Chain A
């Protein structure tokens, strides 16, 4: 049972992530009155890319990408999907926060070696954007950990079963609002699509990837999407005891993200940081203070 979970949860995460990528294209197309590609298109693309030859820029180019995807796969073992969380005994929220560094860092080293300024600009923006949303995000996470008096994500989920979704419990309302405001930035959708910006910097970090590399990069993107949404559902919307309900909750968050993506134009990176460090941070800060004042 346990060993099956270890293989099952990363595969499930990949599958859902890739499904979301396909669904995103379809929904976006319907919003724009187009027909759109089939939902399976990203999966077909990944299989096709694996069979194509491609250029490699060196050892770090390969290893960075592998490191990035492996790091993201390990996070899925820590994140509860319904009740499936095979490695939640080995570390809590703090470990997840730090594991979340491996993905972007590996990607940064890999595309850095591709020696293309477009990639470097993309990475620079990625790190700046992360700096931008990490400030309110850390305040939100600390408020949660303080309010539930635990650093274990499974305990945060199970405590919400008694109290209701933390987004709608009293001292955490502000944190919930702040989290919702920064969620598009964490998922990297428009208006925060500064990193890949295809029309501006030729897809940024992805510019030199082709063939199997692009397949891995796509999988990494899919996993990042999965992790971002799953973390929000677990922390704010009470997770779920049942994987199916958990998936439905993720779907709702995903559609919210797509709708935002569909109607907003892209911000510049400095505008994005200014936005993230203003209202979401203030609200998250107020939320943390509220938790500290009422909690003790």
Chain B
């Protein structure tokens, strides 16, 4: 048995055991779930820098089922287990007040285990099986809360199905063409295939992974699903689950199709690459502005997730070593800061009794300073303020795009300003401004929620100041996909078109902060005051009404909202309505009256007899 088989055995066995232990005692189950997810992190960490393939099962019609590990699967597996572990810890307090907790934990661990299966899969059949397990268990978790969550889950599973069916079509055609499903062997066969077949493969797999990655125009399921899922799972969903699409894209474009072929696939103008790049750019631009319209904290973050997926897409689809490193690093950055943000918003939701509406919160910095710090670091990463991980990854993406396609760079850079706007709205409407009377007794963040927040905040800053840590592993991936190696040092990167030195920047900013702080200390004493002790042009400060949160960016939104109609969502909903209408028509056959059914049977048999007598086909 190799490490990979042990890993999957532990992961899936643990899922069962967690559910069974939940029947006995909830505290035993919680301890076990935490220990299990920690063990998984350790096992994967031990597999660092290993490559290999192993056939674990031959029984499926003689098709070998293979597991394999390399640097690409390792970095994905590591993030899955890391975020999975933190979300289990975060759940400890969050799920205390909920029902069916054993089911929740088991499903959360099942999603994580199946994602590990996906990234470790060495053939397409294994990939597809784990993919389906992931889709189903995700559906169960999204609709966990009931009510609107079930509608959100339905939307997810239907779109997910469309994606899986496309993938299945691709898998079957690959099997008929090459007679194998092993990824390493397909790659060899693909080089001699016709370009039409390659484009077909890219399209069907593109739909499958595009739906999961929520690339425009396949993004419609994501906002409701992210908003309605329980917060610890939203962190997993937005952080790692949709990144399975990224993994799939890298696998299809650079492993199965191959780097050289991918770059020249398609016509001169409508090449596959340029279409993917334009899709990435649209995915950045439109969702960023839609996020500005949102009043639900988690929906805002969900739309922002779609937009960030666009950045990753730009990096991966552009296809140079710098952009590839940027794309993978942005995936890693996004995992960290978006999970952090979903957790802080989840903590606020937990402590305020389920309030996610940005218009009815405010001033919580005094009550939940911890969650505020986490959110601040998280949005700094999201925007890409220097010294956070988001800055380095975005810098890499811009740097690689800037001379080749300035217009795409423009879209990406302009998207950052939209990000500033919605990030500030998030942090202002929750934490800043006046504290409403009804939130006077909100307690501080519980310890089990603080711990993941601390770890994630620390990671945001660590990867921002020492980007060499993740970039060394990423450089291995970049080289293994057939790109040139990058010149990486611990504190930055020396590319052919300019360098980045984060240590110097860190030292400069730190020195600046200290200098300004000392300057402030030189000044006279300051007296802390309450929020009611405020300027109101001589009038008394009106309680609970002295706030500016509702319609925060109204002047802009009045200008742009007519242009922000989600045509694809409307289109999908129309299809759903039409299907519903047709099915409703067909349902009328079932009258519930036995005589009618007998009549159907008699009619059908007489039709068959008539056909046989007339043409005798059988």
Query: Which residues of A line the B interface, CB within 8 A?
Result: 10, 49-60, 62, 65-67, 69-71, 73-74, 77, 87, 89-92, 94-95, 97-99, 101-102, 105, 108-109, 112-118, 120-121, 123-124, 127-128, 130-131, 134-135, 138-139, 142-143, 145-146, 149-152, 202, 207-208, 211-213, 215-216, 268-270, 273-274, 288, 291-292
Contacts and interface: CB of A to CB of B under 8 A. Distances in A.
Contacts of B498: 91-92, 150-152
B524 A211 contact: yes
Interface of B: 363, 365-366, 369, 372, 376, 380, 383-386, 391, 395, 398-399, 402-403, 406-407, 409-410, 413-414, 417-418, 420-421, 424, 427-428, 432-435, 497-501, 504-505, 508-509, 512-513, 515-517, 519-520, 522-529, 531, 533-535, 537, 546-549, 552-553, 555-556, 558-559
B512 A54 contact: no
A139 B410 CA distance: 7
The list of the 8 closest CB pairs from A to B, nearest first, reads: A212-B523, A70-B512, A112-B432, A117-B548, A120-B548, A90-B501, A270-B555, A56-B526
22 contacts: A49-B523, A50-B523, A69-B512, A92-B498, A95-B386, A97-B413, A115-B432, A115-B531, A115-B534, A120-B433, A120-B547, A120-B549, A128-B421, A128-B553, A131-B421, A135-B417, A142-B413, A145-B402, A152-B498, A270-B556, A273-B555, A288-B410
B461 to A, nearest CB: 14
B365 A58 contact: yes
Nearest to A120: B548
A198 to B, nearest CB: 12
B331 to A, nearest CB: 20
B384 to A, nearest CB: 6
Contacts of A149: 403
Given A74-B508, A90-B504, A115-B432, A216 B420 contact: no
Contact of B434 (A91, A97, A115): A115
Given A51-B524, A70-B516, A138-B410, 19 more contacts: A53-B526, A56-B529, A60-B365, A66-B517, A66-B520, A73-B512, A89-B501, A91-B501, A92-B498, A105-B380, A115-B547, A116-B535, A123-B424, A124-B548, A128-B553, A131-B421, A208-B534, A212-B526, A270-B555
A127 B424 contact: yes
A253 B527 CA distance: 41
Nearest to A203: B535
B107 to A, nearest CB: 38
Given A128-B556, A130-B417, A70 B395 contact: no
A270 B376 CA distance: 28
Nearest to A104: B420
**Interface of A: prevailing SS:** helix
Contacts of B546: 115-117
A142 B411 CA distance: 11
Contacts of B366: 58
Nearest to A55: B529
Nearest to A106: B385
Contact of A73 (B515, B528, B548): B515
Nearest to B500: A91
Contacts of A292: 406-407
A91 to B, nearest CB: 5
B467 to A, nearest CB: 12
